[in-house]
Amino acid sequence: MIFAHMVSDFLLQSNYIVKLRYSPESGKSLRGNLLHALVYFMVSLAFIINYMSVQIFFTALAIGAFHFLVDYIKSVLAIKSPFTKYSLSIFVVDQVVHMAFIIFMLLPKGFKAYIAAFSHQDVRDKFAVFKNMEYMDRLLVSGILIIAALWGTGIFIRIFFDHIKLKPYKRAINMNIKIREDLKETDGAPDGGFIIGILERLFIICSILLDLPQVIGFVLATKSIARFKRFDDDEFVELFIIGSFISFISAIIVGVIVKGLSTIPY
Residues 6+ apart with CB under 8 A from 225: none
DSSP H or E stretch at residue 143:
helix 135-147
Q: According to the model, what pLDDT value does residue 127 have?
A: 54
Q: According to the model, what pLDDT value does residue 204 have?
A: 93
- On whether the CB atoms of residues 162 and 184 are closer than 8 A, the answer is yes
Whether residue 65 has pLDDT greater than 90: yes
Nearest Cα to Cα of residue 85 among 25, 33, 193, 160: 160
Average pLDDT score over residue span 101-118: 64
Residues 6+ apart with CB under 8 A from 246: 153, 156, 157, 160
Rg of the chain (C-alpha set): 20
- On whether the CB atoms of residues 36 and 19 are closer than 8 A, the answer is no
Considering the chain, what percentage of its residues have pLDDT values greater than 90? 30
Q: How far apart are CA 112 and CA 129, in angstroms?
A: 13
CA distances, 14 to each of 34, 35, 43, 70, 200 (Å): 14, 11, 15, 18, 22
Q: How far apart are CA 102 and CA 81, in angstroms?
A: 28
Single pTM value for the model? 0.77
Average pLDDT score over residue span 230-236: 76
Residues 6+ apart with CB under 8 A from 43: 4, 7, 8, 12
Q: According to the model, what pLDDT value does residue 123 have?
A: 45
Please list the helix, strand and coil fractions of the chain in percent, rounded to the nearest 5, in that order. Answer: 85, 0, 15
Q: According to the model, what pLDDT value does residue 214 have?
A: 83
pLDDT per residue as tens digits for the range 203-230 = 999 999 988 888 888 877 877 777 777 7
User: Between residues 5 and 52, which one has the greater pLDDT?
Assistant: 5
- Any idea of the CA torsion for 73, 74, 75, 81, to the nearest 10 degrees? 110
Considering the chain, what percentage of its residues have pLDDT values greater than 70? 85
Q: According to the model, what pLDDT value does residue 82 have?
A: 85
Average pLDDT score over residue span 103-118: 60
pLDDT per residue as tens digits for the range 156-173 = 999 998 888 888 878 888
pLDDT per residue as tens digits for the range 82-108 = 888 888 888 999 999 999 998 888 765
Q: How far apart are CA 250 and CA 244, in angstroms?
A: 10
CA distances, 217 to each of 27, 52, 138, 179, 207 (Å): 49, 46, 29, 38, 11
Whether residue 115 has pLDDT greater than 80: no
